[in-house]
Structure 1
Amino acid sequence: MNAVAAPAVSTRPRVIVLEFNELSPTLMREFMAQGVLPNFSRLHGDAQAYVTDAEEAAPNLEPWIQWVTAHSGQSYRDHGVYHLGDGHKLKTKQVWDLLSDHGLKVWVCGSMNLRYDRPINGAVLPDPWAAGTDPFPGDLFDAYFPFVQRNVQEYTNTRVPLSHSDYLRFVSFMAAHGLSLKTASAIARQLGGERLTRKGKWRRATILDRLQFDVFRWYYQKERPDFSTFFVNSTAHLQHMHWRNMDPAPFKLKPGDDEQREYQHAIRYGYQMMDQIVGQTLEMAGPDVTVVMMSALSQQPCLRYEDSGGKTFYRPREFERVLEYAGVPRPYRVEPVMSEQFHVHFDSEPAALAAATALRGLRLEGQPAMEVKHDGASVFAGCSVFRQLDRDVPLARPGGEPRPFFELFYQVEGLKSGMHHPDGILWIRDPARPHREHPDKVPLRDVAPTMLAAFGVTPPGYMTGTSLL
């Protein structure tokens, strides 16, 4: 009898990168020491552990700048991408482009402020704030991406602009693309809890993370890509909004008892939800896949606004009403991004320049009400006021009647109490699993050449970092 040959074992590397925006090395150590992050602890124990340095200071310390650095291997000075939604303007290839060029299959799920070359060998799902970057293949995420995008962009609004048919299409998509029983149960518990207690809406962001991971896992298991990224932002948001609740000591403005009961452990909850994703990823990846976890930058207490009532921000109730009051004529197309900011796209550069001038003319208590940047046929803008305002404060424009500011804008609930810090987490667990805690910080620019080196791909000359492998 002839012996049956054993199937060949593939030695082709496979890498999954978990991009957990702005997780703090300091908080990670504290929560792991408390024993509440078992999967992070397991990953850390098998990983080369680094702290990355963003090599930037405010105002250039923003995640939409730092993630471009991580994916392109270039400093901000070299890549020049400053605004969220401008990633598609990057002139150089990012990691997934270069790997695709070498015949490797890629799966980019939510990575922030990205660009990619079409056609790409695999699939791309942009971040929810993307402007000028569409999913690929074009029809794969038609029922998913707009739904998630509107929910994320309008999370502070009382009503998300979605129809019943949008919800039905989304549910049908999820049912066919990986919706797990665990996620469905979590959604039912979340909505039921909100209805019973009238509290806990802030946890919805982690539900979106669960849905995104279900889609990520569905495509990964179906296509087995060589290189995959998975990005989520919910814990970064919780840190921005609830650092004051986690640690009231350094803040002059102390949270009240009711607020503390609701939000004291919100940040820890966010880390625990990320911990569940780590556990699911390790189970899905198995022992032979390299798993990377990184945060690009982190956060720290924001104390600079304590003497002015705490940092808040204001967002248009309807973008078109603000533009109309400023005297900006149609046609145009508005694309909201994060917090108070939004893009406005016009048919010509002169129309965009006129709109930028009109928006700069808006005044609040004699000072500019808007921060505005004109770029070609587009304008990037947002309310530039972050202090507490009186309810009857007027908004003025040249040659026009003042309008009540709060008729056109609303104040987002809560005070921001976390701000960015240049340190980031980078853990690399390869199949050999050697653990080492590296004491020296490494430039964030090193991430891209390190990812390429995992596949034996030589970094291009514009990448100024060095592989850590």
Structure 2
Amino acid sequence: MRSGPSSGNVTTKPSPVRPDNCAVVLLEFNELSPTLISGFMEAGELPNFKRLYEASSIFTTDAEEAAPNLEPWIQWITVHSGLSYDQHGIFHLGDGHRLDSPQIWDLISQAGRSVFVCGSMNARYDLPINGAILPDPWATGTRPHPAGAFEDYFTFVQRNVQEYTNDRVQLSKGDYLRFLRFMLGHGLSANTAISIVRQLIEERKNPNARWKRATILDKLQWDVFRYWHRAHKPDFATFFINSTAHFQHMYWRNMNPEIFTVQPDLNEQSEYRNAILFGYKEMDRLIGDALALTDDGRTVLILCSALSQQPCLVYEDIGGKTYYRPRVFERVLEFAGVAGPYKVEPVMSEQFHIRFKTEASAKAAAEALRALSLPEVPAMEAHCSGTDIHAGCNIYRQLSKDVPLTGLGGQSTPFFRLFYQVEGLKSGMHHPDGILWIRDPLSTADHGARRVSLRDVAPTLLSYFNLPAPVAMTGRMISTSPGSGVRNAEKLRGF
């Protein structure tokens, strides 16, 4: 772990006692770039971000990690648990349920306050819990709570997100009807309904416009969040979305083509050159809704990104980074000679989980997958943990159309018979700096732009409920009182 701005052996000024009716809404907008937000705000493109910025104390978080440990499913666990990666050890998306430490909503619930977790990445929770949990769409070991409350919504969104690169998502008419019935009873807004209709019309005219669907899922998620928040008024609530992070990964090349060696073609540019700005402007509308929802004099509104992104230039010498995904996961396993029974659970990009009943079966399957090869290079990564495998194709360069895939027994088949290349080249990569804006009705805005450890977020959230941080949390509470935060940050650096 890299050295950061915070030390576990330093004490800071205690937080003031909060009123019993204090509430917190934590907006988790994954991987937003401080640099891009600043530029877009200056250009007048993000009026609601600007309103929140002007009313907030501004901090930059340091994830204190570098690749390969710089991933959102690692950093969000740090936000939610207050533990560094060295402490929590959760490396893969979908493994959050393996964490054996409580997260902030567990501690807040145990104190008798109510919670609502809406989409937080790689989340886990303890039962009983005083509230509701809607897991992220990549979750494989965490289910919605209460049981049955969000299942129709969760199933629909999960399959759309996990298979977003496929032209066809495996959903039945019944799945669509159950989802529609759920949304009609859980806050579907006229704005979202109109946006869906417009999106479908645009796709009929221009099939390439399908990429904008990610923002429709954001709107649906916000409708559910707003409905539940208004109905139940939780003391602590989280709201997570990922669309703009995805746009940055895919379309930074189109936003700033001059800095890349591999240039997008003219047709691609006409479609995607403003994709990232589009994502930020869609999030700006949600910021406006969040400001209205929390304008009650008691709610602390926090915007957190956990980490951010920067241009990805490290793969330009091989033609840009691409990746490959199984057309049908079971066919790849069959070709590799993997025997059932097993359950495949797609995750993100090229990655997927395989669940077996025995450790011996999982170990044999991992060896068979790692034996799959292209000429002179392995084709797959497969990491075994007990009865589970986390796997994915580890080829990130351009392949010829006739390249063969060879299995453990020497059998061969065309690689593209089993895999497909996901459209586009990766052009955004992770950066450890993150956004932390805190609009606190009991404090005035402070734009000192102090740097803090990402580990400081969890104890700060607990402080709003007058709760002490567990001993395992090595971060410290951030003060939003003007001036004091600067002194605390200096103390944490050892000055």
Structure 1 residue 323 corresponds to structure 2 residue 363: no
Whole-angstrom distance in 1 between the partners of 2:257 and 2:154: 37
Structure 1 contact 143–169 (Cα < 8 Å) conserved: yes
- The residue aligned with 2:7 is none
**Aligned mates of 1:170, 1:447 — CA distance in 2:** 35
Q: Name the CA distance, whole Å, in 2 between partners of 1:284 and 1:14.
A: 12
Q: Which residue number in structure 2 is paired with residue 102 of structure 1? A: 111
The alpha-carbon deviation at position 11 of structure 1 amounts to: 5.0
Match of 1:156 among 156, 165, 189: 165
What is the aligned partner in structure 2 of residue 394 from structure 1?
404
Change (3 A) 1:351 1:302: same
TM-score of the aligned structures, taking structure 2 as reference length? 0.92
Structure 1 portions without partners, runs of 5+: 1-9
Q: Which residue of 1 aligns with 2:11?
A: none
2:87 aligned with 1:78: yes
How far apart in 2 are the matches of 1:184 and 1:300?
A: 34
Q: Could you tell me which amino acid in structure 2 is paired with residue 346 of structure 1?
A: F
Q: Contact 1:113–1:127 (CA<8 Å) still a contact in 2?
A: yes
Q: Name the SS for the 2:212 alignment partner.
A: helix
Residue 6 of structure 1 aligns with which residue? Answer: none
AA matched with 1:190: Q
1:6-51 deviations in whole A, cap 9, x for unaligned?
A: xxxx851000000000000000100000111011100010101000
2:133 aligned partner = 124
Aligned partner of 2:492 in structure 1 is none
Partner of 1:3: none
- Measure the CA separation in 2 of the matches of 1:190 and 1:12: 41
State the match for 2:313 in structure 1.
303
Match of 1:256 in 2: 265
**How far apart, in 2, do the equivalents of 1:439 and 1:286 lie?**
24
Give matches, 1:7-46, under 5 Å: 12-46=21-55
2:156 maps to a residue whose letter is F
Structure 2 segments unaligned to the other structure (5+ residues) = 1-18, 480-495
4+ runs of 1 displaced by more than 3 Å?
none
Distance in 1 separating the partners of 2:203 and 2:367: 44
Distance 1:358 1:438 in 2: 54
Displacement of 1:423: 0.4
Q: Distance in 1 between matches of 2:472 and 2:289?
A: 35
Query: Residue 4 of structure 1 corresponds to which residue in structure 2?
Result: none
| Matching residue of 2:175 | 166
Match of 1:206 among 201, 215, 225: 215
- State the secondary structure of the residue aligned to 1:438: strand
1:421 is aligned, of 402, 416, 431, to: 431
Partner Cα separation in structure 1 for residue 265 and residue 402 of structure 2: 26
Residues 337-374 of structure 1: CA distance to partner in whole angstroms, max 9, x if unpaired? 00000000000111101101111111112211111100
1:321-345: per-residue Cα shift (whole Å, max 9, x none)? Answer: 0000010001000110000000000
Q: Pick from 388, 392, 395 the counterpart of residue 378 of structure 1.
A: 388
Residue 338 (structure 2) pairs with residue 342 (structure 1) = no
2:179 maps to a residue whose letter is F
Partner of residue 282, structure 1 = 291
Distance 2:222 2:22 in 1: 22
What do residues 53-87 of structure 1 show as CA deviations (whole Å, max 9, x unaligned)? 00000000000000000111011000100000010
Aligned to 2:13: none
Q: Is the 8 A contact 2:122 2:139 kept in 1?
A: yes
By how many angstroms is 1:256 displaced? 1.4
Listed one character per residue, the Cα deviations across residues 73-119 of structure 1 (whole Å, up to 9, x for unaligned) are: 01100010000001011111000000000000000000000110012
C-alpha contact (below 8 Å) 2:58/2:450 kept by paired residues: no
Q: Check if 1:460 corresponds to 2:470.
A: yes
Report the secondary structure of 2:182's partner residue.
helix
Aligned to 1:434: 444
Indicate if the aligned counterparts of 2:23 and 2:300 stay in contact, CA closer than 8 A.
yes
Asked whether the equivalents of residues 193 and 199 of structure 1 are also in contact (C-alpha less than 8 Å), the reply is: no
Task: Determine what percentage of the aligned residue pairs are the same residue.
Answer: 60
1:304 and 1:228 mapped to 2: Cα distance? 38
Root-mean-square deviation over aligned CA pairs:
0.9
